Structure 1
Amino acid sequence: MNTQTVSAFKRANTILNRATVQLSGPGIRLKVLYWGFMPEHYDNTPHRHSFFEACYVMEGQGIYMEDDREYELLAGTVFLSRPGKWHQIRSKNGMALCYAAFELIEEGSTPSYIQAYHHLAEKGVPVLQDAAASPTANLWSTIVSMFKETSSFPALAVHHTALTLLISLLPLHGGGQDTLSETTQVKNEGNPLFRQAKLFIDDNISENLTLQLVAQHLHISSRHLTRLFAQEMNQTFVHYIQERRVQLAAEMLLQEELEIKDIASRCGFESVHYFTRVFSRKLGVAPARFRRAQFTEGRSGSQHFPAPPSTPTST
């Protein structure tokens, strides 16, 4: 990579991360968590996000891993890390990599955009090689070229180019489908931040989950997360965690042959005594008796005891 482009990468990193953190246009609002322009990107550790991370390889080659599947990265490759997906980037000699981490702000975005990004999160194509001629790749190159100039490029032009870049991911990674048209008829599945919170909770249910920890993972305040649980579940964060743990424990008691102390640990209870107390209070019966009823009477435990609470609809 030549010296001019390396300099443009540095300027883009500095200016975009300071001045282009919220993007908005007709019917859409996006929050950019960070921009990245790295002349030499090597390896990172396996990890996952609660947000999207869009990447473009300008030079070099490497490997992208997602959920144990391996993809080759070459110059001109675009790839997208979707919320909740384990992934890793590896490169022996380093890649010139551009990337942006972002999430949709539902308030202020139209239902069509909300559903389009839901579709992208659930069904988006993660890696597209030979995409150097695509609008998305050209937009990445345009942004870099803006910062090759010695004088400052108009802020409004940078803003709209960045916004167009992130919107262009919808048709590019949507599998050749018109995601905006297609998803307008899909039923709204609730607040995407709340869906991400539930995903994080389920994937880390054995850990010491606190309101502050989950809010930090989502990059929102504890107060905002508290409001999400009130709006989406009509209950508190602590109440939801306890119910989710009891629900999982009930399933494991009926389906697994683990000892009760091991189930308590896997479901995030600090001790078997605390697990027994909470489980008995929620379902009206101790864990051991709950399990015995399943095998001695030959019927589903859900016919003997209250079923785990279902997710209520939003009000």
Structure 2
Amino acid sequence: MEINEWKTILPPVFNTLCHEVRIQDAVIEWVDIIFEQIGTASKCPPHAHTWFEFNYVLAGQMETRFSGDSITVQEGEFFLIPPGMVHSHVYTRGNPHEGMCFRWRLACAELEDEKAEDSLYARLHRLHNWRPGSYRDEDGFGRLLIQFLEEATVSRSELGLQLLLVRLLDQLSLLQQDMEGDAKSTRITQDPIVRKVEIYLEDFQGSHLNVTELAASLHMSYGHLSRQYKKLSDNTIVERMNQIRLEKARDLLLLPGSLISEVAEQAGFADLSYFSRAFKKHYGQGPQSYRREYDGKE
């Protein structure tokens, strides 16, 4: 069956699947199951959302951007967007793509028994750590999609269709696990002190970094920790903290309607003028100028 035929007859079937389903200890709420409908749009501006989004290109190509990095997604490739990740899309004029899009939310069901470490919820929750990019389908996701479309056409079995979708998500989680294994094998060569400081800084949510408290958490004096970190990373701890905050601010700036003052506060900068100076020093232009230039590239 051709894609256009599926696009005609299957949307009502997809609508019946858009509700919560519980499988083992995972509660999955399907927000959308759709064929991409581009119409006359040439782009989708930078935004983020509270759900996961999986996109698979069945034909043609599209351009997706994560934090300003442009990626071309071609036929037989896919990408996954976890909640909160800023992204945008640009569609090729004269070469519209055909694709499928799944959006879902994930919650953990309450169980009487203690949850297993490798439960379905735990596996699917790993997808929060998905690395942005376009991935060539080498794991049979396209075959699963075609099976899903064919069964939706002939059987209309809601349970069977739901299980196929969950199987696709679980297969994504296994791919994520493999990628995390590769990342861990790379990170293991990093000095333990640098790795521990990086973890602390990435998780830190406050506006004032207490480096003495950080050193104490590693059972070291602040002087010794700062000297070791500088020697191993070529950055001071405060410099690295500012880098992480500025990277976060850069992503927040691309959200439609965000105010510069709000971006500064959410990124951990208490002083707006200091934030503007630091941003300009790091990126070569002020926050407002950076935003205008990015919008001009859309």
TM range (shorter): 0.5 to 0.7
Residue 124 (structure 1) aligns with: 131
Q: For residues 23 and 85 of structure 1, do their structure 2 counterparts lie closer, same or farther at Cα, with a shift above 3 Å needed?
A: same
Alignment of 1:153-232 (within 5 A): 153-177=156-180, 206=259
How far apart in 1 are the matches of 2:275 and 2:180? Answer: 41
Of 94, 97, 104, the residue aligned with 1:95 is 97
How far apart in 2 are the matches of 1:257 and 1:73? Answer: 34
User: What residue identity is the alignment partner of 1:16?
Assistant: F
User: What residue identity is the alignment partner of 2:65?
Assistant: M
User: What residue identity is the alignment partner of 1:159?
Assistant: Q
User: What residue identity is the alignment partner of 2:158?
Assistant: A
Residue 30 (structure 2) aligns with: 32
How far apart in 1 are the matches of 2:36 and 2:274? Answer: 48
Residue 300 (structure 1) aligns with: none
- 1:36, distance to aligned residue in structure 2 (A): 1.1
Q: For each residue in 1:146-199, what CA deviation from the matched residue of structure 2 results, as whole angstroms up to 9, or x when unmatched?
A: 2343xx4322211211111222221234453469xxxxxxxxx9xxxxxxxxx9
Q: Tell whether the 8 Å contact from 2:66 to 2:132 is kept in structure 1 after alignment.
A: no
- 1:46, distance to aligned residue in structure 2 (A): 2.2
Q: Secondary structure at the match of 1:36?
A: strand
Residue 288 (structure 1) aligns with: none
Q: For residues 178 and 18 of structure 1, do their structure 2 counterparts lie closer, same or farther at Cα, with a shift above 3 Å needed?
A: farther
Residue 55 (structure 2) aligns with: 55
How far apart in 1 are the matches of 2:96 and 2:266? Answer: 47
Residue 135 (structure 1) aligns with: 140
Q: For residues 142 and 60 of structure 1, do their structure 2 counterparts lie closer, same or farther at Cα, with a shift above 3 Å needed?
A: same
Residue 198 (structure 2) aligns with: none
Q: For residues 9 and 175 of structure 1, do their structure 2 counterparts lie closer, same or farther at Cα, with a shift above 3 Å needed?
A: farther
- Report percent identity of matched pairs: 15
How far apart in 1 are the matches of 2:100 and 2:179? Answer: 23
Q: For each residue in 1:255-312, what CA deviation from the matched residue of structure 2 results, as whole angstroms up to 9, or x when unmatched?
A: 4589xxxxxxxxxxxxxxxxxxxxxxxxxxxxxxxxxxxxxxxxxxxxxxxxxxxxxx
Q: Secondary structure at the match of 1:45?
A: strand
Normalised to the residue count of structure 1, the TM-score between the two structures is 0.52
Residue 197 (structure 2) aligns with: none
Q: For residues 9 and 64 of structure 1, do their structure 2 counterparts lie closer, same or farther at Cα, with a shift above 3 Å needed?
A: same
Residue 10 (structure 1) aligns with: 8
Structure 2 regions of 5+ residues with no counterpart?
183-202, 204-247, 278-298
Normalised to the residue count of structure 2, the TM-score between the two structures is 0.55
Q: For each residue in 1:203-256, what CA deviation from the matched residue of structure 2 results, as whole angstroms up to 9, or x when unmatched?
A: 5885999xxxxxxxxxxxxxxxxxxxxxxxxxxxxxxxxxx969957x317945
Q: For residues 117 and 19 of structure 1, do their structure 2 counterparts lie closer, same or farther at Cα, with a shift above 3 Å needed?
A: closer
- 1:33, distance to aligned residue in structure 2 (A): 0.9
Larger Rg: 1
Q: Tell whether the 8 Å contact from 2:25 to 2:108 is kept in structure 1 after alignment.
A: no
Residue 234 (structure 1) aligns with: none
Q: Tell whether the 8 Å contact from 1:5 to 1:148 is kept in structure 2 after alignment.
A: no
Query: How many residues are aligned here?
Result: 199
RMSD: 3.8
How far apart in 1 are the matches of 2:162 and 2:272? Answer: 54
Residue 252 (structure 1) aligns with: 271
Q: For residues 257 and 86 of structure 1, do their structure 2 counterparts lie closer, same or farther at Cα, with a shift above 3 Å needed?
A: closer
Q: Secondary structure at the match of 1:50?
A: coil
Q: Secondary structure at the match of 1:46?
A: strand
Q: Secondary structure at the match of 2:10?
A: helix
Structure 1 regions of 5+ residues with no counterpart?
180-188, 190-198, 210-243, 259-315
